[in-house]
Amino acid sequence: MNNSVLDERSRFLRRRIVDVLKEAKRGHVGAALSLVEIFRVLYDDVLRYDPKNPRWKDRDRCILSKGHGCLALYAILADKGFFPREELAKFCQPDGILGGHPEIKVPGVETSSGSLGHGLSIGLGMALNARYEKADYRVFVVMGDGECNEGSVWEAALSAGKHKLSNLTAIIDYNKMQSYATTAEVQNLEPFADKWRAFNFAVREVDGHDVSVLRQALKNIPIENGKPSVIICHTVKGKGFSGTECNLKWHHKNKISDEEIDQMYGELAR
Amino acid sequence: MRKTCLEIVYELAKKDKRVFFIGSDLGEGTLDKYKKEMPDRFFMEGISEANIIGMAAGLAMEGKIPYINTIATFLTRRCFEQVVVDLGLHNLNVRLLGNGGGLVYAPLGPTHEATDDIAIMRTIPHMTVVAPADADEMRRVVNQTIDYQGPVYIRIAKGFDPIVTREEVPFKIGKAILMKEGADALVITTGITLKIGLDAAAQLKKEGLHISVLHVPTVKPLDEEQILASAKKVPVIVTIEEHTVIGGLGSAVAETIAEADMLSFKRFRRIGIPDVFPDQYGSQASLMEYFGITAEKTALLIGELVQMKGKGVEIVQ
């Protein structure tokens, strides 16, 4: 796993992220780069949405619960036309709408997030509403591995399992690194898949950078009828650049230098 | 009061399909009728307050009006961040019904005594904070929450509290109610301390003092206009709350009159729980007595403050 070569579309989305970094010189870079293929497949192949009508009632709900990964979400939302591409250059600026964590004022952003461990419960509420209304929209919650340290995640998992919400899918960016160190060192999640199974989720593990595998997994949910799904995506923090991959210094980086930006552009051009 | 509160939620749910009920792990038989008649809008989600708030947020984002009921301390302290981010930041129509506001759970100790709930909830933008005085007022409050924008925290008192509010006075969330008018002092109350204020006023009347009693069921948004209008007319102002004196009604009133540049000319005191955790058991009444939140102590304090005529003005000079 994780040795997949990035194709032009994946490089294009990363270029968009580097465009932002070039202006802002800051961001949760590692956490965004591990998410790029997940969002690419969701928005290119899986989700039902209308960029001209972001609150369309029949849309699939896609919550970015690990809000610090927002650069990957902004890149795809801009590409799909939810907001003008020029907004990307105003990341974290007083006159921009795109902050270091996503907020609902951004067209296409489902919930304001940033503090971890909120999204799955909110998604649970949305999924219960769909069941009550007999609506066929689906709910996807994109979460981090470090986020799964939060007890609230497991409270939500208990409820989702109890309610047998097959319209709810958790997607976990399992890049195995959090802010301080590896997840194994900080708060070991293993046996991770078994934990979700024990909470009555149907589980699938995939290479989170292999778009064909991701596509196949995300297009075939629920994994099991009568159960919420979890897709554990094995990913690489900082995926795509020699300097950022598995490098904790890029978890959140300030003062990104012009040289670093040039190097990133250079690697994308190869 | 809790019974009335939940009865109204049931009635609202019967009339309006947007109403959902979420409990944590409430007492056996709670809202049985609701559960039986509207099972798809009734949830008992276990002792998981953080999840319950988020789940309610998700429902509210889809246009529903969830009513959440559990013990007030757990609803305010335990899941504070969920309340701030999920409900406050998103400005959602979720109703939080907190059991045992104040010292109701005196026998159960400080983990269960909601002595800071009003202060906690008051800091959250968009949040409305209401403490009804009795079951009748609870009925009026909860009925208004069906068409009210934003999250609302409702403090539920012990129950079987004496009825002191009046049906004929128009009730509106956000409006203070002038129960009694007098020129010697102003007592400002919230929740069940209205009764204490009224009793103190009756006691002082015997001593020849005429006291205004302003009931403030909605601590946020605060009816500053009415508070200032009433405060203007008297030299002495006392607030009474079954709550820490830090950050609750007394603080809110103090902020209001201070910023209206009135404080130098008034004698102002807060009656409430000092900055401590209750250190003894007993009953709600015994702890109220212990902390001096009584009509007798209020009357005594007002009597003393009225005697201190002109002192406030002297400080200015």
Element at A120 (helix H, strand E): helix A119-133
User: How far, in Å, are A32, A204, B209, B234, B302 from residue B312 at the CA level?
Assistant: 60, 72, 19, 12, 15
Distance from CA of B79 to the nearest CA of A (A): 10
**Mutate which of B52, B55, B83 to disrupt the A interface (most A C-beta within 10 Å)?**
B55
Out of A115, A132, A155, the one facing B51 most closely (by C-beta) is A155
Distance from CA of A52 to the nearest CA of B (A): 19
pLDDT for B159: 84
Sign of CA dihedral B65, B70, B76, B81: negative
> pLDDT tens track of chain B, all 317 residues?
999 999 999 999 999 999 999 999 999 999 999 999 999 999 999 999 999 999 999 999 999 999 999 999 999 999 999 999 999 999 999 999 999 999 999 999 999 999 999 999 999 999 999 999 999 999 999 999 999 999 999 999 988 889 999 988 889 999 999 999 999 999 999 999 999 999 999 999 999 999 999 999 999 999 999 999 999 999 999 999 999 999 999 999 999 999 999 988 899 999 999 999 999 999 999 999 999 999 999 999 999 999 986 654 443 33
Verify whether the Cβ–Cβ distance A159 to B56 is below 8 Å. no
Parallel, antiparallel, or unpaired: how do β-strands B128-130 and B19-23 relate? Answer: unpaired
What is the Cα–Cα distance from A256 to A247, expressed in whole angstroms? 14
> CB distance from A128 to chain B under 8 Å?
yes
Distance from CA of A250 to the nearest CA of B (A): 27
Helix axes B135-144, B2-15, angle to 10 degrees: 30
pLDDT for A79: 98
Per residue in A117-140, pLDDT tens?
999 999 999 999 999 999 999 999
Q: Which residues of A50-59 are buried (b: 16+ CB within 10 A; e: fewer)?
A: ebeebeeeeb
pLDDT for B314: 41
Verify whether the Cβ–Cβ distance B90 to A111 is below 8 Å. yes
**Mutate which of B18, B22, B51 to disrupt the A interface (most A C-beta within 10 Å)?**
B51
pLDDT for B315: 37
> CB distance from A56 to chain B under 8 Å?
no
What is the Cα–Cα distance from B115 to B290, expressed in whole angstroms? 14
Contacts of B65 in chain A (CB under 8 A): none
Distance from CA of B45 to the nearest CA of A (A): 7
Nearest CA in chain A to B79: A152
- Check whether the bond before A222 is cis (ω within 30° of 0): yes
Tell me the three state secondary structure of residue B65: strand
Verify whether the Cβ–Cβ distance A152 to B54 is below 8 Å. yes
pLDDT for B313: 42
Domains annotated for chain B, with CATH where assigned, are 2-156 (3.40.50.970), 177-306 (3.40.50.920)
Out of A119, A128, A159, the one facing B59 most closely (by C-beta) is A128
Parallel, antiparallel, or unpaired: how do β-strands B218-220 and B152-155 relate? Answer: unpaired
> What's the burial of B72, exposed, middle or buried (CB within 10 Å: 0-12/13-18/19+)?
buried
Helix boundaries (H) for chain B = 2-15, 32-37, 49-61, 72-73, 80-82, 117-122, 135-144, 193-206, 224-232, 249-259, 284-290, 295-307, 311-316
Out of A114, A124, A152, the one facing B58 most closely (by C-beta) is A124
Instruction: Give the global pTM.
Output: 0.96
Out of A118, A130, A158, the one facing B85 most closely (by C-beta) is A118
Contacts of B62 in chain A (CB under 8 A): 125-126, 129-130, 133
> CB distance from A138 to chain B under 8 Å?
no
pLDDT for B47: 97
What is the Cα–Cα distance from A145 to A233, expressed in whole angstroms? 10
Q: Between A and B, how many residue pairs show a Cβ–Cβ distance under 8 A? A: 86
Q: With respect to CATH, is domain A8-268 assigned 3.40.50.970?
A: yes
Tell me the three state secondary structure of residue B96: strand
Contacts of A143 in chain B (CB under 8 A): none
What one-letter code names the amino acid at B121?
Answer: M
Contacts of B126 in chain A (CB under 8 A): none
DSSP classification of residue A175: -
Rounded to an integer, the average pLDDT of A152-163 is 98
Out of B40, B58, B64, the one facing A121 most closely (by C-beta) is B58
Verify whether the Cβ–Cβ distance B51 to A152 is below 8 Å. yes
Verify whether the Cβ–Cβ distance A158 to B48 is below 8 Å. yes
Contacts of A173 (CB under 8 A, 6+ apart): A31, A34, A35, A38, A66, A69, A142, A143, A144, A145, A208, A233, A235
CA nearest to A108, candidates A136, A87, A131, A133: A87
User: What tokens were used for A151?
Assistant: 């007890």
DSSP classification of residue A67: G
User: What tokens were used for A264?
Assistant: 């990133």
